[in-house]
Amino acid sequence: MSIIIESANLSVMKKKVVIFIVFLCLHSGIYSQSSNTYEVYAIQFGQPWFAKASEAAVGAPDKDSIEGCNIFWLLKGREKIILVDAGFLINEYTNADHYWDSHNYTRPDSALIRMNIPASAVTDIIITHPHSDHIGGIGLFPKATIWMQQDDYNYFVGAAWQKNGRSDGFDKRDVQQIVSVNVEGRLHLVKGDSIEIMPGIRVFIGSKHTWESQYVLVNTSTDKVLIASDNIWYYYNLDHMLPITYTFDPSAYVQQMKRMKILQPNTSLIIPGHDAIIFSRFPEVAKGIVKIR
Ligand SMILES: [Zn+2]
CA–centroid distance, 69 to ligand 1, in Å, is 9
CA–centroid distance, 134 to ligand 1, in Å, is 6
CA–centroid distance, 230 to ligand 1, in Å, is 5
Q: Residue-wise pLDDT tens for the chain (293 aa)?
A: 444 445 555 555 555 554 454 444 444 444 456 789 999 999 999 878 899 999 999 999 999 999 999 999 999 999 999 999 999 988 655 555 545 566 689 999 999 999 999 999 999 999 999 999 999 999 999 999 999 999 999 999 999 999 999 999 999 999 999 999 999 999 999 999 999 999 999 999 988 899 999 999 999 999 999 999 999 999 999 999 999 988 889 999 999 999 999 999 999 999 999 999 999 999 999 999 999 99
CA–centroid distance, 85 to ligand 1, in Å, is 10
CA–centroid distance, 40 to ligand 1, in Å, is 19
CA–centroid distance, 280 to ligand 1, in Å, is 20
Question: Which residue from 247, 160, 221 is spatially nearest to 29, judged by alpha carbons?
Answer: 221
User: Domain 34-291 class?
Assistant: alpha beta
CA–centroid distance, 240 to ligand 1, in Å, is 20
For the chain, give every domain's residue range. 1-31, 34-291
The pTM of the full predicted model, rounded to 2 decimals, is 0.87
CA–centroid distance, 62 to ligand 1, in Å, is 22
